[in-house]
Amino acid sequence: MDFTITRQIAIDAGHRIASHGSKCRHLHGHRYVIEASCRPVSGELRAAGEQAGMVLDFGFLKDEMMALIDAPCDHGLIADIADRALLDLFTPEGRKGDDWHAALAATVAAGGFATTTDGRLGQKLYVVPFPPTAEGLARHWFHRLAPAVARRSDGLAALTRVTVHETPNCRADYAPL
């Protein structure tokens, strides 16, 4: 038997790909649709308990996706730490851009991302160490979600794929080998 479950959420967020040679270098937004797929580690459904007959409770998967993706990113701006020109727009009043950027960079280096609303305008920022393409976000969110899936399933389910739909016609899948 081979079972796979998939849960979907959607967020609205802005980004830009600073190095892009065409229109994606401009600040713009998307209605991202994110899907996370899981399978049982043993190939079998859970035999007993609260999740009997399941790979993983859909509600548990949704909770983790909402906490790790929706809460920090929805109605925010996803930015590459290397996109200094963009981040400088949000340097808080009265702070030196170099100091603020260095603090963000240290947080990104230590944890793989940073979240803040302490910048100018109180803008919700989600800062990552890569250009925020659909491909990069799929890989990033996979690595954030995988430990949560293992924890919520008592190690009986594994995250197998994260898909990020940037538009209704364009998506990126990340599924490590």
Domain boundaries along the sequence of the chain: 5-16+30-43+52-174
Topology of domain 5-16+30-43+52-174, CATH: Tetrahydropterin Synthase; Chain A (3.30.479)
Average pLDDT over the chain, rounded to an integer: 95
pLDDT band at 47 (very low <50, low <70, confident <90, very high): confident
Is pLDDT of 76 > 80?
Answer: yes
Give the Å distances, CA to CA, from 20 to 16, 23, 81, 130, 174: 9, 7, 16, 13, 21
